Amino acid sequence: MARRWLLAGLCAAFGAPGAAQSLTEAEAVAKMRAEYPQVIALRLGVRELEADARERTLPANPAVAYTREDAGAAVDDFLLVSQQMPLWGRRRLMGEAARHAVSARAADVDARLLAVEAELRHVFTDLLLAQDRVRSLEAGLDRLDELIAVLRTREEQGEGSRFDRLRAEREGAEVDADLALARIDRRRAQARLAAFLAEGTDPDGLTAAGGLDDYAVPPIPAPAAAQLPKGRQEYRALGLEAQRWGAEERAARRLRLPTAQVTGGMKRSRVLGPMDTGFVLGASVSLPLFNRGQAQAARAAAARARLEAERRTLAARIAAEVHAASAAAVGARALADRYRADSVSRADELVAIATAAYEEGEFGILELLDAHRVSLSANLRSLDLSAAARRGAVALDRAAGRGMTP
């Protein structure tokens, strides 16, 4: 048909679809966590910090020195080994600070993974919506095609008007254009979903399995709501960072205490005679006169106080986010259910009534096409509301720190 030119042009521009790959939301999340390069990079960042933490806990390397003193008749050779002594537990505190830093980074990575997961789930919802919109528009266009076929037959038989057929074809062209745009939106959503998967994933064959309404709003009991800030990984990361700087502060205060270095080795001497061999033993103590760790301790204390303030701010923000997200999710779900029950079935009934009235000559073509338009619009609006409810549920999961991790 002439009005199919948009679809033909779209197929020619994009080519044939690739191999089909249907994914549920949970399967898409699992593949993202296993294949998405950003997720791999985040996890490797934790491993880098773990290596740095191990380095901070290693003892200082010993120093080996050889000295030869030659004064003609007297020759002295020294072979000395020096080792800094780990006094006052400062190295243990530095190791504790490093372990807290690694744990904080891991918690921050978990928080980022939940954010990426929520973004993927929104994209998955977009693909579900685009698929359902395409199906609804295709069904609406099929109904109009059937009507146009009847009107064309009547016109050929002299029982119908040319105006009715042209007006119905014009309505079909509008729906056909909307269908072409919906297919473009579907391709865009497929490409966005493929970006979260392994490199080389063909977006053309990706389909989202499931429906927009198969996800209920998870309830949050009052006792659990009070503990939600503590369950968020961002909140946990700030707490671990505060513990890290607490250990850093205690380690910095140990700098006011003297450190010791032990030296031992062998001495060989010759004075106008045979070579004699003996041992050398010494110790040195640093005097903390200038650097007593004041600046390091002050910086660590300020960082710890800042993080505690940020934790309190984050806890209040999380509580507000959960309250708002819960209200929005519950309201959107109720609205979608109510609209589907009250409007969609009645809009379909309007088509049946208008069709019968048109057959009896009580309605004109404009009233009949308006009924078709209302029915299609109600179905599309119902899909939009269901998608909004699903997005609200995803936003609530994100605010509550919940995910779909397998």
Q: Identify the band that residue 75 occupies on the pLDDT scale cut at 50, 70 and 90.
A: confident
Separation CA 350–CA 367 (nearest Å): 10
Above pLDDT 70, what percent of the chain? 92
pLDDT value of residue 123: 95
**Residue 12 reports pLDDT greater than 70:** no
CATH of domain 24-400: 1.20.1600.10
Question: Which residues are within 8 A (CB) of 362 and not within 5 positions of it... i.e. 6 or more apart?
Answer: none
The strand pair at 21-23 and 276-285 is best described as: unpaired
Mean pLDDT along residues 46-74? 84
Separation CA 20–CA 13 (nearest Å): 19
pLDDT value of residue 223: 65
Q: Identify the band that residue 140 occupies on the pLDDT scale cut at 50, 70 and 90.
A: very high
Residue of 388 and 156 predicted with greater confidence: 388
pLDDT value of residue 1: 45
3-class secondary structure, 195: coil
Residues 175-231: pLDDT tens digits? 999 999 999 999 999 999 999 987 778 888 889 998 888 777 766 766 666 677 777
Mean pLDDT along residues 34-46? 88
pLDDT value of residue 238: 92
Separation CA 81–CA 363 (nearest Å): 107
**Residue 240 reports pLDDT greater than 70:** yes
**Residue 13 reports pLDDT greater than 60:** no
Most confident of 11-20, 50-59, 141-150: 141-150
Q: Identify the band that residue 10 occupies on the pLDDT scale cut at 50, 70 and 90.
A: very low
Virtual CA dihedral for 227, 232, 238, 244, nearest 10 degrees? 90
Residue of 84 and 336 predicted with greater confidence: 336
Q: Which of 53, 85, 78, 75 is nearest to 64 (CA)?
A: 78
Q: Identify the band that residue 2 occupies on the pLDDT scale cut at 50, 70 and 90.
A: very low
What's the alpha-carbon Rg for the chain, to the nearest Å? 37
214 φ, ψ (degrees, to nearest 5): -90, 20
Residue of 406 and 242 predicted with greater confidence: 242
pLDDT value of residue 400: 85
pLDDT value of residue 222: 64
Residues 247-298: pLDDT tens digits? 888 888 888 888 888 999 898 888 777 778 888 898 888 888 888 888 888 9
Q: Identify the band that residue 19 occupies on the pLDDT scale cut at 50, 70 and 90.
A: low
What are the C-alpha distances in Å from 350 to residues 21, 168, 202, 241, 382? Answer: 38, 17, 42, 63, 16
Least confident of 22-36, 93-107, 269-283, 367-381: 269-283
pLDDT value of residue 279: 85
| Average pLDDT of the chain to the nearest whole number | 85
Separation CA 279–CA 268 (nearest Å): 8
pTM tops 0.85, yes or no: no
Residue of 306 and 273 predicted with greater confidence: 306
pLDDT value of residue 61: 87
**Residue 8 reports pLDDT greater than 60:** no
Residue of 5 and 258 predicted with greater confidence: 258
